[in-house]
Amino acid sequence: MHKFENCLVIGVSSRALFNLEDENRLYEKEGVAVYSRYQVEHEDVILTPGPAFNLVKAFLNLNNMNPFERKVEIIVMSRNNADTSLRIFNSIKHYNLDITRAALTGGNLLFPYLNAFRTDLFLSASEEDVQQAVNAGFAAGIIYTQNLAGGSSNGLDQIRIAFDGDAVLFSDESEKIYKEKGIEAFQENEIKNAQNPLPEGPFAKFLKILSSLQHGFDSNEPPIRTALVTARNAPAHERVIRTLRAWDVRIDEAFFLGGIAKSDVLEAFGAHIFFDDQAIHTDPASEVVSSARVPYRQVLVNEGNE
């Protein structure tokens, strides 16, 4: 029996992996019956790459570095049913992607199956699916499906992933202070708590897994490179650095931008994907690199009353 305990498991929706925007508009306009008929009639028409394509391909390349130990498993997760999914599998075969597993839910939500596959990261164009995933404690992002075909043009020999800090790697605790009381209160809080690590955010576990994977490769030319791209600046930088040190994780590059636009830095870094919680950052970033917005976790009423 195959187990995923020692693998990084990434769940990717069919719209994230391939360009299905025309088909999605057909579904929204004409309904499921017309959409299903179209997909069956065009199942031999190969789909073009979507925004997560190059990221997925780069991750799968890790498995080629050691044929005796799989580092990554990609699970295609789709609300398609089995009958309408052949086009997806034909496209996977066409591009020679080493993807053999899928969850096809026939219109039902995907998030209940994330735990069954031990998913570490979930990428989807569906805000509903991603919101439910984040609520359930998974690292998940709503990937932008416009502007880029295939994602970053950066090579496949090194995976480059960029993260925002607050509400992504870290909790939104400090960000709430900024939004409710302003920049001065935020800076004062971060100076006061500089020695106290920030609480973990939705992508903390994912970053730790990436850091662990990095340790398994040659440190001179690691196949994974990470970057922190945050609107924080000094003096709020110290708490971030000490938090990463307390987590014993490796961040290769860090940019404390103090409100400067992130898109130019992300383009220079060559990110395969960028995760941020605010559309004000992901909207412009998506024009130069694949980007995914991380929604805030919604606390259920019963959970809040416990």
Catalytic positions, written as ranges? 164
Amino acid occupying residue 74: I
Buried b (16+ CB within 10 A) or exposed e, 260-299: eebbebbeebbbbbbbbbbeebbeebbebbbbbbbbebee
- For residue 268, what is the enclosing H or E element? helix 263-269
Tens of pLDDT, residue by residue, the chain (306 residues): 456 667 899 999 999 999 999 998 998 899 888 988 999 999 999 999 999 999 999 999 999 887 778 899 999 999 888 888 999 999 999 999 999 999 999 888 888 899 999 999 999 999 999 999 999 999 999 999 986 555 555 667 889 999 999 999 999 998 889 888 988 898 899 899 999 999 999 999 999 999 998 887 766 778 899 999 998 888 889 999 999 999 999 899 999 998 889 999 999 999 999 999 999 999 999 999 999 999 998 876 555 544
- The CATH classification of domain 8-143, taken from the options 3.40.50.1000, 1.10.3720.10, 3.30.70.20, 1.10.940.10: 3.40.50.1000
Its sign, for the CA torsion 202, 204, 209, 213, is positive
pTM for this one? Answer: 0.92
- β-pair type (291-293, 140-143): antiparallel
Q: Identify the CATH number of the domain defined by range 159-301.
A: 3.40.50.1000
Q: Where in the chain is the domain with CATH 3.40.50.1000?
A: 8-143, 159-301
- Three-state secondary structure call for residue 74: strand
